[in-house]
Structure 1
Amino acid sequence: MIYFLRNVDDKITQTNFRKALTIGEISGNVLMDLSVMADEVIGPLLCNPENQKGWPKIVQNDMKRHVNELRNLMHQLKGEMSSQIMLPMPEGVENIYHAEARLKESDSEDVDLYLKTNIEGAIIKWAQQIYDLLQEDSYIAFKRTKFPLPISDIEFYTHRLRNLEGIYSQLRDPRVKRMAHYLESTRSVYLACFKSMLTNVVAALLREVCNLVIQQCTNSVDPMSIFQGDADEQLIKLRKAMGVLNHFIDTYEMNRDKVHTFFPPGVMPVRWSFDFDRVFMRFNTFMKRLKMIDNIVEATVEILKLEKVEFSGLRGKILSTECIKVLEEYTLIYQNLGNITYDPADPEDTRFLSDYDKHMAVLEDVDRRLASLFSQGLDECHDLEHFFKFFQIIGDLYHRPIIKNELKPKVAKLLDFMHSNLDAVKEIFDEEMAKLNPKGVERPMVDPYLPPYDMNRLNRAISWYNAIREGSHETEVALIEKEISAIDHLLGRGVEELTWNDDFTEWMAEVYAAINTLQERVLTAQNNVRRGLSNIAAWGDKPLHNRKDNPEKLELLAVNERHPRLVARRNKILQSHAEFLHILKDNYKLFFNIKEDEESDDEEEELEEVDESTMDEDERLARAQKLQAIMEQWEAKRIAREERERERAEIAQAKFERREARRLKREAKEAEKRERQARRDEG
């Protein structure tokens, strides 16, 4: 396409047409060229102050308004050509930075009313454009073609998503942010409209995700037929879907709380500030509907268990018949609920609400009838066994509020039955213990499979061992690793070598003593550290310099008392330091199991080396006596150490002999067993 531009007013002839005309070529995209012409030719030409000399002010403003409308029109047309919504910028937006600077310098006095009015007008247009977009529905595909395909629905939402992302990108333009600040600084009434518009755009993106989740959940659960199938299977399917929906909400809240971690370092994080109810309103309604359906199906599952209920006692058959009657009546009502022709989970359909209220009234009546029957059935339970069987039969029906309130006062009978049983057991126990006479012929009744020793000590030792393993820091475990390995070896030996028929009293005592000693030492060391940290926290969590307490706020900090506070804080630090040194010393002894007498061996007193030639007779005598005392102390410690080593050797030898005896006994049993097996094989 070619264009001709006349340069002079003279008549155009064959000889002067080259100077009188400017000839050029226009590309195939005319709209793009017109947009460029409006921005770079028409606008600068008509709005140039040099070209507007002598024009009245009203004409100048009117010309600017028309030129800006032309630019916005071209801008919108370009968007429509690419199937995107383009937000028109207000006239004078290029001056927004200077206008905002003047507003700040004048303390909000110098307001450009013309620019403010243009911004407010633009916001009205934007709000209308966004509203029209959000009101569009996928049914528009039926208006474009008579027989749309499923791809039309996908294309609609793809196009809508692209538009929302484009609008969101335009609203994040730095000029738009400055416009929002300008409206806020000038207290414009259109600021709320602007914030609501931005929130609607962000919320629309999330609402579409919620709608997708709702659609997928509906496809999975099929609420229209949920009252028709087996109640147990429908409840499992419903609970699984509700779990997915709860996980979706949990994921949203988790990412909302840590959204600040998604921003790179040095960038001010922007938190999600849109209204939760506005975004998830339909989602929450859908969740409430599923919960209502869950209430009905869960109650139905429990009531259907009445088919297996049988009461005992004289009136047991009558009560069982009445329960079956209640079950049959409720089953008919529940089957009628399966004949609904609407989607009970549809948030926009309110027909289920009235049906839900009616069915809950039916369930309340069923609960009252069952409560009366169960109360009569419980009166027929005259011993502990029947009492427990009764509650095992009714199952979770007991937890329904009406039934629970009716039966709860009667549960006190359980204590009477238990007391009677315990009294009977006590009488039997006393009677059998009276037979425990070494000279008597009768012996107490003992189950042959009952272990011959009380296992409480072993259970207590194992709980201590688990507490050491689970409650200790990895560095603490490393310090006592050898002792833990020894205990593991000791426990393993008991598991592999001992049986209920063996005498494992000594082994149990050894296990108990080893774990008890280790547990006491570790617990004491841990308490020492906690005490030290608590004392540090008493002053470490408080600031050194505080604000001065005075009503007139003459000083920010109480600096006059800083030196006494510094001295007091220093003394507390030194006290904590000394305390931790003492704790480290004590914990060293505890973790490495160092006794006081063993430590004293390393801290023996030594005489100071002096020149005896400079000492008088009394000093030399005193030094000789002290040296003699030290030698006697060394000798006593040596004898005590040898005695301890001898005792340890005797204990170790005794343990070895016992282990050898058990090993020989076990080998003898195995040999005897093999011999018997060999004789059986020989016939």
Structure 2
Amino acid sequence: DFISDNEIFCDKIADLDRRLGRIACQAFTDTNGLESMFKLIHVFGSLLERPIIHNDFKQNYNIVLEQLDKEMDDAKKIFDEQMEFQRENGSIQLNRNMPKVAGSLMWADELKQRYTLPMEQFKAIDNSINHSPDTKRVEDKYEELNELLRKFIENLYKEWADTVAEASKFNLNQHLITRNPKNKLLNLNFHPQLETVLREVRYLEIKDRKDIPKTALDIYEHNDTYLAYINNLNYTVSSYNKIRETVSEVEYPLIERQVESIDQQSHKIHRLQFHRHIQ
């Protein structure tokens, strides 16, 4: 009859749920890290809400929370190590060839993304564990990390914004080219700080920062001009220095007048400044 058939059907469904529960638990055991855990939970989706499967699988949510807690601790450890490095060296440990501000902002973004993504994935899980005291403790760690990074970025950016104008103005007023009085070799005098400003602003504009100091923006406005001058002057300086360094005493009288003519021209360039020349 219908009742007995329904009981048989329900028993088969329950048996199927138990099998699925065991499969889900075994698959979870085989996961490696939070990313694969969340992928597994996403794949099973609403099946994990079925009572029998949920009863078998629910203890795994505690493991997810433990891993998430560890992720927060690892992120805090990385932050503390970088702050210690900064106290000793004046800057955090940056990726190769990255300027201080842009490199620090990139590091902060990468660190925040590292612990934010799993936190958002965990919050998306509709489970009673989301309202447990342990979850609240992990959320507090998450908020603490956000605040630490916010203050780090704020202090870093303020320090740069407060000094970039004065330093840039001073360096832009230096002569285009300097000469070594001992060996008479020329040297391009475009200060590394100005190159750094150009790179900083390029990155900050990519990140759509709205509070870039006006001085830095003004310098970056002439970015192409500066780069063209640097390339041309570098070529000129290296060509001149090559003559000075490679010509022999016997050969020098043959080109002495030309070298003196170049020296007269370069003497005029010595008095030029990047800022005034571009203006």
* Larger-Rg structure: 1
Highest RCO, 1 vs 2 (Cα 8 Å, sep ≥ 6): 2
**Which category describes the TM-score, using the shorter chain as reference length?**
0.3 to 0.5
Structure showing the higher helix proportion among its residues: 2
